[in-house]
Amino acid sequence: MPPLSRLRPVIKAAGSRALNGRSTHTSVMPRLRVPVSAYVVDCGVYVDGRRLPGRWSHDRAIDEVRERGEGFVWIGLHEPNDDQIEGIAETYGLHELAVEDAVHAHNRPKLERYDDSLFMVLKTVRYVGHAEPTSANEIVETGEVQAFVGRDFVVTVRHGQHSGLQQVRRRLEEDPEQLALGPAAVLHAIADHVVDTYLEVVEAIEDDIDEMEAEVFAPRSTMDPEQIYVMKREILELRRAVMPLLKPLHKITEGYSSLVPHEVRSYFRDVEDHLSSVAERVVGFNELLTTLVDAVLAKVSMRQNSDMRKITAYAALITVPTMFAGIYGMNFDYMPELHWQFGYPLVIIVILGICGMIYRSFRKNGWL
């Protein structure tokens, strides 16, 4: 395909201009490309499921494969920019729109077909450790993995520090029979690895939710509903990674592209089953957290009602002495028992008696 105009390096040609009667020639050297080693994490050539020895550049690797007429190249990149991915995009014929998505990231999981290649985006997740879920501000960290798959190459682009594929590559290299299935086997291994991390994160979050649920329903607990909303936000982040991936995996199992042979599609069905299980659990988490929010708000409302009843009861108790003080504070000359020797003790006894009856009544009704 023609060079990508948007990704071409800018080369300024020599120019000349007249200045004060003299001709001044200015030349700017072309911008040098960044060395391959600066952004390529690994580049391997695989024939019959085994890696060929030596270090390979992206152009030498694909030339070797095409000269042999067998095998494939697997190149791994980490957060490249436009200039860094340009050479590989031109050499391997990567589509311009897919390259743009791979460089800028922040995509939803998806699967797209461009001529004779596939472009797949997967969201990676990582569980962020914390002392306890009721005080954590972040529980799930997300990243991204994009994979370009052709008949004789796989180009993976990673975004995020936790999305490494070294273990995937090492595990495949230890299984030549699986690796001999070609680039589609690499795509399956990546998808399987990502979904396995989903399972690990879901299990860790389930423990957090169980702990949070126990705290919510504990007697006299003071659980803050804001912490449950934090957990719901993290579950939403996980859901955005999991749910959109169901459709791409289903398309692969249904024979979306001939680049994924039948024997590899059967492996993708297993990954799809695991992902469906994760999706169901994530939906369940969201519903459970909604229930916990309702429970916390109900407890807060009940606690407020209890406080209001206590305040009302004590206000009623205070009303009795306030009433007597108001009556005998009018300073009239002629009031019953005003100058009686036992008037004061009698009033105190009456006040205490009435207050005692009111207090007993409130205690019996559960207000105090």
With bands split at pLDDT 50, 70 and 90, how would you rate the model's confidence at 7? very low
Nearest to 72 by CA among 119, 122, 124, 117: 117
Band the pLDDT of 83: cuts 50, 70, 90.
confident
Question: Which superfamily is assigned to 304-364 in CATH?
Answer: Magnesium transport protein CorA, transmembrane region (1.20.58.340)
pLDDT band, residue 111 (cuts 50/70/90): very high
DSSP codes of every residue in 19-38: ETTEEEEE--PPPPPPPGGG
Query: Using alpha carbons only, what angle is made at residue 90 by residues 89 and 91, rounded to the nearest 5 degrees?
Result: 95
Quickly state the pLDDT bin for 135 (edges 50, 70, 90). low
Q: Which of 102-116, 185-199, 228-242 has the highest mean pLDDT?
A: 185-199
Nearest to 282 by CA among 248, 232, 245, 247: 232
Alpha-carbon span 121 to 156, nearest angstrom: 10
Q: Would you state the pLDDT for residue 131?
A: 63
Q: What is the pLDDT of residue 168?
A: 93
SS3 114: strand
Q: What is the pLDDT of residues 268-317, one digit of tens each?
A: 999 999 999 999 999 999 899 988 888 888 887 877 777 787 788 888 77
142: amino acid identity, one letter:
T
Q: Look up the CATH number of domain 36-300.
A: 3.30.460.20
Scored b (16 or more CB within 10 A) or e, 241-253 reads: bbbbbeebbbbbb
Contact by Cβ (8 Å): 298, 228: no
pLDDT tens by residue, 183-225: 999 999 999 999 999 999 999 999 989 988 888 888 777 777 8
- DSSP, res 13: P
In this predicted structure, the answer to whether residue 13 has a pLDDT above a threshold of 90 is no
> Region 255-265: what's the mean pLDDT?
90
How sure is the predictor about 38, in pLDDT bands with cuts at 50, 70 and 90? Answer: low
When pLDDT is averaged across residues 353-359 and rounded to a whole number, the result is 82
The pLDDT of residue 220 is 74
Pick from 208, 210, 178: nearest CA to 192: 178
Identity of residue 153? F
The whole-number pLDDT of residue 19 equals 32
Average pLDDT over residues 122-148: 84
As a dihedral over the C-alpha atoms of residue 122, residue 145, residue 67, residue 151, rounded to 10 degrees, the angle is 10
Q: Worst-scoring range by mean pLDDT, 6-15, 106-115, 150-159, 180-189?
A: 6-15
Helices then strands, counting H and E runs in the chain, come out as 10, 9
Compute the average pLDDT of residues 146-156: 95
Q: How many whole angstroms separate alpha carbon 350 and alpha carbon 328?
A: 14
> How sure is the predictor about 340, in pLDDT bands with cuts at 50, 70 and 90?
confident
Q: Which of 75-84, 98-107, 144-153 has the highest mean pLDDT?
A: 144-153
Residue 289 token pair: 């957290």
Question: What pLDDT is recorded for position 144?
Answer: 93
Name the residue type at position 351.
Answer: I
pLDDT for the residue numbered 115? 83
139 and 231 Cβ atoms separated by less than 8 Å: yes
d(CA 161, CA 323): 72
Cβ-based neighbour number of residue 205 at 10 Å: 22
- Structure confidence at residue 322 as a pLDDT band (50, 70, 90): confident
| pLDDT, mean of residues 173-192 | 94
C-alpha separations of 139 from 124, 126, 183, 234, 263 in Å: 14, 8, 34, 6, 37
* pLDDT at site 337: 67
Indicate the DSSP class of residue 311.
Answer: H
Q: 3 pLDDT band (50/70/90 cuts)?
A: very low
For position 298, what pLDDT does the model report?
Answer: 81
Q: What percent of the chain has pLDDT over 90?
A: 43
Mean pLDDT of the chain: 82
- Single out the residue of 144, 142, 164 nearest to residue 76, CA to CA: 164
Candidates 72, 338, 92; CA nearest to 181 is: 72
User: What number is the average pLDDT over the span 53-62?
Assistant: 91
Would you say 246 and 272 are in contact if contact means Cβ atoms under 8 Å apart? yes
Contact 155, 72 (CB under 8 A): no
CA distances from 326 to 315, 323, 341 (A): 16, 5, 20
Q: Full-prediction pTM beyond 0.85?
A: no
